[in-house]
């Protein structure tokens, strides 16, 4: 029998649809935070607002002297024009919940209601985090102290690759790191008919693009998934002018910290070599983003036990491959033991619309399973922390 009864489920659906109709971009989630606060207040859950700007944190009490279990949801939307034709589609032009954060928020609110009814073995902290899509929200919340006295943290993401009633759990890497890089190329401009008098920034940039492709294919163990992609190449002003400047911008993805560092170092090494080869000046800027999300074996085991309690052993599935997308939940995992799972949410007929698509949607039934999973994992993790603390 589901612990999320019809009344609670309907309230979560109502909340999700209201939030979906009124999406707010990163750091602008003021009305979203108000709605979260109103829901928590209505159910008697103590909380604070204005954390790191627009974050909300709720604390449920447990035994003194025991570390907290933290559960986290992200609340921001994306700058995408919605094309789902849902009856509750976004009313904000050019802004949409295209990554399921409306579902994540509703799931955690459901968990708050369920956990409020329990005698908790350890205190539980519910973190409603802004600005995940910028990769900076988690760090801001950590800076605001949300991990103080936290012994373990859990999070999750709706996923169209699995059906409602499935929860995917993995040991090790779940999401890749996500860093950005930019290369400023300074050559020497000239007439297109007299290339010997110039240093062509476009030729230099073209060689650099091709050379960067050898990092993953020839320097990284094929068993360690990684990506170096140049997504932007800007150069030139006229067809008969040799460009003196070019700008390349791209992304770096890796599932292991050592590989992440190797990719960054290799980009700089190859850029220096290409500059020397063509007598050009290349300036490389690496912009660190989010770290990889790594589930420890102990945390994954706790998650599997909790997921099995909710969806049964057959409903707990392994992730075949880690997601190469970034997720700033990795910052939490750098500070405390963490586990990040995937909630099956496939909608029949919409399998081809991934997250960040203008037609993305998810099966709302996953909110019931997600809320019950958070309840189960908070109780199991709390008992583990209580035993370790000897409380």
- pLDDT, tens digit, for every residue of 80-112? 999 999 999 999 999 999 999 999 999 999 999
- Inform me whether the pLDDT recorded for 137 exceeds 90: yes
97 is in an annotated binding site: no
- Can you give the pLDDT at residue 2? 79
Give the CATH number of domain 178-290. Answer: 3.30.70.360
- Can you give the pLDDT at residue 322? 84
The helix or strand, by DSSP H or E, that contains position 319, with its residue range, turns out to be: none
- Give me the chain's average pLDDT, please: 97
Gap between the Cα atoms of 336 and 162, Å rounded: 28
1 — pLDDT class (breaks 50, 70, 90): low
124 forms beta bridges with 60, 69
74 burial type by CB count under 10 A (0-12 exposed, 13-18 middle, 19+ buried): buried
- Inform me whether the pLDDT recorded for 277 exceeds 70: yes
148 burial type by CB count under 10 A (0-12 exposed, 13-18 middle, 19+ buried): exposed
Active site (catalytic) residues: 76, 132
Percentage of the chain exceeding pLDDT 70: 100
Contact 365, 16 (CB under 8 A): no
78 — pLDDT class (breaks 50, 70, 90): very high
The reply to whether CATH 3.40.630.10 applies to domain 6-175+292-389 is yes
Tokens representing 210?
A: 């091709």
Which residues have CB under 8 Å from 344's CB, separation 6+? 159, 161, 162, 163, 164, 165, 166, 167, 168, 363, 366, 369
- Inform me whether the pLDDT recorded for 134 exceeds 80: yes
- Inform me whether the pLDDT recorded for 293 exceeds 80: yes
Residues of the chain with CATH 3.40.630.10: 6-175+292-389
356 is in an annotated binding site: yes
Tell me what the mean pLDDT of segment 306-310 comes to. Answer: 98
154 — pLDDT class (breaks 50, 70, 90): very high
Reported as a single tens digit per residue, the pLDDT across 143-153 is 999 999 999 99
Rg of the chain over CA atoms, in angstroms? 24
Torsional sign, CA 190, 191, 196, 202: positive
- Inform me whether the pLDDT recorded for 127 exceeds 70: yes
Say whether pTM exceeds 0.85: yes
18 is in an annotated binding site: no
Tokens representing 276?
A: 């020397």
- Can you give the pLDDT at residue 65? 92
Percentage of the chain exceeding pLDDT 90: 96
**β-bridge pairing 124-129 and 68-74:** parallel
Torsional sign, CA 260, 264, 269, 273: positive
Tokens representing 116?
A: 């409020």
Reported as a single tens digit per residue, the pLDDT across 213-240 is 999 999 999 999 999 999 999 999 999 9
Residues of the chain with CATH 3.30.70.360: 178-290
């Amino acid at each position: 029998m589901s612990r999320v009864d019809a009344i609670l489920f309907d309230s979560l659906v109502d909340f999700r649809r209201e939030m979906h109709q009124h999406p707010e971009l990163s750091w602008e989630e003021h009305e979203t935070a108000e709605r979260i606060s109103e829901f928590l207040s209505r159910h008697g859950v103590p909380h604070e607002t204005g954390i790191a700007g627009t974050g909300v944190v709720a604390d449920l009490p447990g035994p003194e002297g025991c570390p907290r279990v933290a559960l986290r949801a992200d609340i921001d939307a994306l700058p995408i024009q919605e094309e789902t034709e849902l009856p509750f589609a976004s009313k904000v032009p050019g802004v949409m919940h295209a990554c399921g954060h409306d579902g994540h928020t509703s799931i955690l609110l459901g968990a708050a209601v369920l956990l409020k009814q329990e005698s908790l073995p350890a205190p539980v902290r519910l973190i409603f985090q802004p600005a995940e899509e910028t990769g900076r929200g988690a760090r801001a919340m950590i800076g605001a102290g949300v991990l103080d006295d936290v012994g373990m943290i859990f999070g999750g993401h709706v996923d169209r690759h699995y059906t409602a009633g499935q929860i995917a759990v993995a040991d090790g890497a779940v999401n890749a790191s996500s860093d950005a890089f930019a290369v400023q190329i300074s050559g020497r401009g000239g007439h297109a008919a007299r290339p010997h008098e110039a240093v062509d920034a476009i030729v230099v940039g073209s060689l650099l693009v091709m050379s960067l492709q050898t990092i993953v294919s020839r320097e990284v163990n094929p068993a360690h998934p990684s990506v170096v992609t140049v997504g932007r190449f800007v150069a030139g002003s006229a067809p008969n002018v040799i460009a003196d400047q070019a700008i390349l911008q791209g992304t770096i993805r890796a599932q292991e910290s050592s590989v992440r560092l190797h990719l960054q170092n290799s980009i700089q090494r190859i850029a220096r070599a290409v500059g020397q080869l063509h007598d050009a000046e290349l300036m490389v800027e690496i912009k660190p983003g989010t770290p990889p999300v790594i589930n420890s074996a102990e945390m994954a085991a706790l998650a599997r036990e909790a997921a099995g309690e909710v969806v049964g052993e057959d409903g707990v599935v392994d992730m075949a491959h880690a997601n190469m997308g970034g997720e700033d939940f990795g910052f939490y995992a750098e500070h405390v033991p963490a586990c990040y799972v995937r909630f099956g949410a496939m909608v029949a007929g919409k399998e081809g619309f991934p997250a960040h698509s203008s037609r993305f949607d998810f099966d709302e039934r996953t909110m019931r399973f997600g809320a019950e999973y958070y309840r189960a994992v908070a109780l199991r993790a709390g008992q583990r922390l209580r035993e370790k603390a000897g409380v």
